[in-house]
Amino acid sequence: MPVNGDTRSIAANLMSWARGADAPNGSSKVVVLEDASLLSTVMQHEFLDTGTAMFVPGAGHPPAVGSGAQMFSYVGDFRDPDADIQIGEDFYVQQQSYALSAFVPVGGPTILRACSDNDLAAFYRDADTARSAGKFPAALLHPQSLLGDVPALGFLPRAVEVGHVYVAASGEVLTSPSGIRLGALDDSHQDWSRSWASGMYEVGQRPDVRERPWIARFMLAADALRHATVRGLRGMHVSGFGGHLVPALDQVEDRVPATTSLLLFKSGVAHLHDGATSRTYRLGSDAAKFVDVMLTVGSDAAEAARILGCPEPLAEQSITQIENSFRAKGIRFGSFQSAGF
């Protein structure tokens, strides 16, 4: 019976589901069941295919023959935002209410859950502080922390169909215990995806999200800083949060707030971080300045020349070279790219 697996597989799939967005090395479809008695019904649903990862309470319910699903047993309660979860014999993850994260340090693999009004208020308050002062909450930057259910906070994943679901004991299907309602087990995957799209639209219309068109970039920026710290790049700044590498941009309206590329910089060192792939690229000082402009106003050579004080032909040539170089890596400046983690 394909129950449990190695720690890396468990972590990747749990990360993918907990975020509600794709994670490196995780399955494209992940299901968490609240009640193992629903397993036989879930196994018949069209949502499942070869490679789907499933987290099921207990280990006494083998999957249907030929399902191809990878199953992990767990002990704990995902509905309780402060409960611990054990998966298999030796993998543990803590859950922590986001509002508590300012007072309780992360001490191991931790899912930060913004479920209550207090959690949401704390999250958007932290986002505002990061945007204005460049100060990010320590909990989001910890190498072992994970922000849960990001679509419900204003982040748009790159997938066009829902791929991460939570099946409640009642048969209700959601993105997470406190996330977007998708329907019921009797509904089709297409129905779930339509509800998901509708739910994300409603999230985008909430004042706390609508008034912060950069909120997805805040989440990507926290991820970028965490990746940088793991790679030994400590104390980096994210351009656009508390200021820019090019100071003149501080007074310029951000025309591409939804771009998933970010510029990290510190003491003459600059890197472009691509949120869609979590890859980071070292930049020369001149290229970094042009990239900063491009991530703020788009590929406007005349505007770049004005801001940087250089001839417009030089700006046009530099922008073209940068665009061509990164287009080969799948990165396009000045346009929105939905991203996963």
pLDDT tens-place values along the chain, 341 residues long: 344 456 777 888 888 899 887 655 555 789 999 999 999 899 999 998 888 889 999 854 445 445 677 888 899 999 999 999 998 777 899 999 999 999 988 888 999 999 999 999 999 999 999 999 999 999 999 999 999 999 999 988 777 789 999 999 999 999 999 899 999 999 999 999 999 999 999 999 999 999 999 999 999 999 999 999 888 888 999 999 999 999 999 999 888 876 789 999 998 899 999 887 888 999 999 999 999 999 999 999 999 999 999 999 999 999 999 999 998 888 876 544 443 33
Same domain, 291 and 175: no
End residue of a domain, out of 161, 187, 210: 210
As beta bridge partners, residue 283 has 270
- Give the domain extent around 267: 215-327
Same domain, 303 and 249: yes
Same domain, 205 and 231: no
End residue of a domain, out of 210, 225, 248: 210
Same domain, 32 and 181: yes
Q: Distance (Å, rounded) from C-alpha 180 to C-alpha 182?
A: 6
Same domain, 271 and 160: no
* pLDDT at site 25: 52
One-letter amino acid identity for 191?
A: D
* pLDDT at site 270: 96
Residue 256: how many CA atoms within 13 Å on its side-chain side? 22
Q: How many domains does the chain have?
A: 2
Q: Distance (Å, rounded) from C-alpha 274 to C-alpha 258?
A: 13
The CA angle 261-299-309, to the nearest 5 degrees, is 110
Q: pTM of the full predicted structure?
A: 0.89
Kindly state the helix (H) or strand (E) to which residue 282 belongs, with its residue range: strand 279-283
Q: Is residue 51 classed exposed, middle or buried when 0-12, 13-18 and 19+ CB atoms within 10 A define those classes? A: exposed
Residue 245 lies in a domain: yes
* pLDDT at site 27: 59
Same domain, 76 and 181: yes
- Residue 337 φ/ψ region, left for φ over 0, alpha for ψ in the -120 to 50 degree band, beta for the rest: beta
Same domain, 152 and 47: yes
Residue 43 lies in a domain: yes
Residue 28 lies in a domain: yes
End residue of a domain, out of 210, 238, 262: 210
Whose tokens are 């543990």? That residue is 92
Residue 56 lies in a domain: yes
The secondary structure of residue 85, as a DSSP letter, is E
Same domain, 234 and 168: no
Residue 17 lies in a domain: yes
As beta bridge partners, residue 91 has 87
| Longest CA–CA separation in the chain, Å | 71
* pLDDT at site 1: 33
Same domain, 265 and 178: no
Name the token pair of 284. Answer: 């020369």
Same domain, 162 and 311: no
φ, ψ of residue 99 to 5 degrees: the values are -60, -30
Length of the chain: 341
Same domain, 181 and 219: no
User: Beta strand 181-184 with 261-266: parallel, antiparallel or unpaired?
Assistant: unpaired
Same domain, 185 and 228: no
